[in-house]
Amino acid sequence: MVTFKLNLLKFNDSNSRKMENFMPDLLDQLNENQRVAASHIDGAMLILAGAGSGKTKTITTRLAYLISEVGIAPSNTLTLTFTNKAANEMRTRALKMLGDAGKNFTPLLCTFHKFGLLFLKFYIDRLGRKNNFVIIDTDDKKRILKGFESNIATPVLASEISNFKNSLLSVEDAAHHAAIEIDEHKFKDGYYARLANIYKLYEEYLAANNLVDFDDLLCLSYKILDEDEALAREISQRYAYIMVDEYQDTNDLQYKLLKKLCLTHENIAVVGDDDQSIYGWRGAKIENILNFKDRFKDVKVIRLEQNYRSTSQILRAANELIDHNRNRLGKELKSTKEGGEEVALIESDDETMESLKVAKRIKKLLSSGVAASEIAILYRINALSRSLEDGLNKEKIPYKMVGGVKFYERAEVKDVISYLRLVANENDDFSLKRVINRPKRGLGKISLAKIEKIAFENKFSLFEAICALDESDKELSKKIVSALDEFAANLKELKECGSAYELIDKLEAKFGIKKYYESLPDGSERVANIDEFYAMIKDQIKQDPSFSIEEFLNEIALQSEQDNIGGEAISIMSIHASKGLEFEHLFVIGLEEGFFPLLGDGSDIEEERRLAYVAITRAKKTLGLSYANSRFYKGQRTRLEKSRFLSEAGVCSGSLIIQTQTQTAGEYKKGDLVKHKIFGIGRVTAVTKIKKELKLTINFGGISRDIMSGFVEKAV
């Protein structure tokens, strides 16, 4: 805190003196483009840094150069990152470069949210708040929200409030929006009004208890700067040189905050890769990096295209793939490692064979002396880990799940397992307590405690206690007793099912587990896991006429207990979790249409392609791309086409899939300036809707052409 106070409030003239111990070799270890970027001083700069191109080295060298060579005071620099890990790595590198010069002058290098925290400690009083506030985490936030009576799921409330804050919507704005019909169904249901009310109660609670949540760190900081131009100018002058890492991941609020920090200058250097923008689903705006040169004056653009990670074969596939995206600034990675093995294409009949083939290849690598830590398997959606985990366990290959939860340990899967356990044994109190309120039945802690009391006094199981409830019982409301009666009746009915297959079908119909989870922010992912679980059981039933639910559940329990096999482990993870990592040997599974790319409402084919690009560029030495001809898809076994990404990457031949970007009618209008790959800049003179597509009549320098909207982009 003292360090920040010196940085933020006091500028000591002695800090600006030219530092001793110049390092003439500071730039010597950089390639030509890296040197240009690192030695840039004034004005805006965009460093387009491809995967494995040494971006961290470049940006930290620039920081050291500004301080030790140019003589910029460390207190006048600000470097922003997205993770503490990245901030710590950069700080360590920069201080090492600075040597003795960096011992007494530590530049401010932190995450966006850490900067917000430090800023609020000094200026939150301008909002009438005390600076001894406490930051609450996600769990604290959910606990507070649970205290408000609402039939909207807590995770949904938490997500919606976060969206409000990142969109800079006040409580009053949210209430106003609630009065406007946005979604007819939700509007009639009073959803928006209830949401706005909870937002109001939540904000009042935070203010009354002097709390701030994670989103407040940025939105309150912006609010202060937006309302006080003099302060904004003072802070901008203080941080005369700003650098931002992973700029493609910034959202709209972060961009607006940066604009405030650049109020008195445009000495902002951002580093990022538009081809690795994969977080659109959590609010990241790829437009921030695509339009950077239009939002700042005289922007210097430097491309870092030399890749020090992957072989030329791997990069060839990555370059060919990403070249199919239209919405990009353009660059081509060049390997410093010539040759290497060709990218392997792995075809399997189904997911069981796929996991077996991949496991066999991994065993071969391990037996040849490759360390397990140098091997990884990636997948697009978490549901695919189920067959993979089963295959690795069968082959006794130790693995660790990175950034995720093992399939049978995921909440939604454990819920289904608990229901099945109850069908097998209704007196399983542990399982009953887990699912008694999933989906919600209005049962709170107090009501459950009353049922537990009844069970204890009568030496009943919880299920027997529920069956013994009477609507005349004053201990519990009629509504709760009725809901529990229905719960017990449904369980009894399921126990009478003639077959395990019938049981699985009826389980979902009776309890609506998928319906409960699909309402959550990550609902589609959770439903996919449930579908995978149901389908896997059905498949086993078909293969084994003597299939027993009880035996199956016992096998899962044993498998979970044996997961932690000793020794080194390979890594398995989603592609999102792999960002920033690298592995000598890499496998990517599930490359089929519908799985990767993920197709459906709201899907963005270009972001899916960027995700595939990220996956490929994690590999250093060998890369295996795997697809299955059939897989469980939306709950049933389906024949699948191999992913278009395989042919686009030049790994196999395939039919060309013409993908046009779906546009809504409001996205283009008469008068818009647009850009076409061949015809250049033109102006829209008419818009015609054809099904879900738009046909645009565009004037290109006096020549009028009809072009489908997916083949142009807005020019401004």
> What is the pLDDT at residue 601?
63
Work out the average pLDDT over 143-165: 89
> What is the pLDDT at residue 664?
40
> What is the pLDDT at residue 559?
59
Is the pLDDT reported for residue 14 higher than 60?
no
Work out the average pLDDT over 472-484: 78
> What is the pLDDT at residue 662?
41
Q: 292: helix, coil or strand?
A: helix
> What is the pLDDT at residue 26?
82
User: What is the phi/psi pair of residue 62, to 5°?
Assistant: -60, -45
The most confident of 41-55, 412-426, 533-547, 567-581, by mean pLDDT: 41-55
> 306-361 pLDDT, tens per residue?
999 999 999 999 999 999 998 899 899 999 988 789 999 999 999 999 999 999 99
Work out the average pLDDT over 182-210: 80
Is the pLDDT reported for residue 138 higher than 60?
yes
pLDDT band (50, 70, 90) for residue 369:
very high
Work out the average pLDDT over 447-459: 85
User: What is the phi/psi pair of residue 683, to 5°?
Assistant: -120, 135
pTM over cut 0.85: no
Q: Report residue 36 CA to chain centroid gap.
A: 33
Is the pLDDT reported for residue 410 higher than 60?
yes
pLDDT band (50, 70, 90) for residue 81:
very high
> What is the pLDDT at residue 659?
47
- Cis amide linkage into residue 597, ω under 30° from 0: yes
> What is the pLDDT at residue 663?
39
Is the pLDDT reported for residue 79 higher than 70?
yes
- Greater pLDDT, 184 or 480: 480
Rounded distance between C-alpha atoms, residue 220 and residue 168, angstroms: 9
What average pLDDT does the structure give for the chain? 85
Is the pLDDT reported for residue 560 higher than 80?
no
Is the pLDDT reported for residue 270 higher than 80?
yes
- Greater pLDDT, 527 or 177: 527
Is the pLDDT reported for residue 95 higher than 90?
no
Query: Beta partners for 135?
Result: 212
> 528-544 pLDDT, tens per residue?
899 888 888 888 888 88
Q: How far from 68 is each of 39, 76, 237, CA to CA, in Å?
A: 12, 13, 20
The set of catalytic residues is: 55-56, 245-246, 276, 618
Percent pLDDT > 70 in the chain is 89
> What is the pLDDT at residue 691?
52
**Which of 328, 173, 166, 170 lies closest to 252, judged by CA?**
166
> What is the pLDDT at residue 15?
39
- Cis amide linkage into residue 439, ω under 30° from 0: yes
